[in-house]
Amino acid sequence: MRIYMTARFRVQPESVQTCLYAINDFVDHIKANEPGTLQYTSVQEYGDSFSFLNFFAFEDEAAEELHRESAGTRRFIDAVYPNLVGDVEFTRFGPVAST
């Protein structure tokens, strides 16, 4: 069964550019190495450019585990987490309807 998740986080103002580079590197890694990650989208809030929301969808539990354990995830965590304001808020969703 498909898994849908979001990750909401806020970074320190001086680290936005570093985090943008890390996000783009992360998405490039996902595209090249994670066929079971069906979607990974990162958006930056208009009214608060230090806030981000990542939305991602996995084919199944195995794809989610591959993503969690990947070198790309480790690089992302190492680059972004030291710059967080607060914690990353993860939310997991189940499918209801889609186009």
pLDDT tens-digit readout, 76-96: 999 999 999 999 999 999 888
Task: Convert 7-50 into a string of H (helix), E (strand) and C (coil).
Answer: EEEEECHHHHHHHHHHHHHHHHHHHHHCCCEEEEEEEECCCCCC
pLDDT for residue 99: 84
pLDDT tens-digit readout, 10-67: 999 999 999 999 999 999 999 999 999 999 999 999 999 999 999 999 999 999 999 9
pLDDT for residue 43: 98
pLDDT for residue 78: 97
For tokens 């990650």, what's the residue?
A: 37
pLDDT for residue 86: 97
pLDDT for residue 95: 86
Q: Which domains does the chain have, with CATH numbers?
A: 3-93 (3.30.70.100)
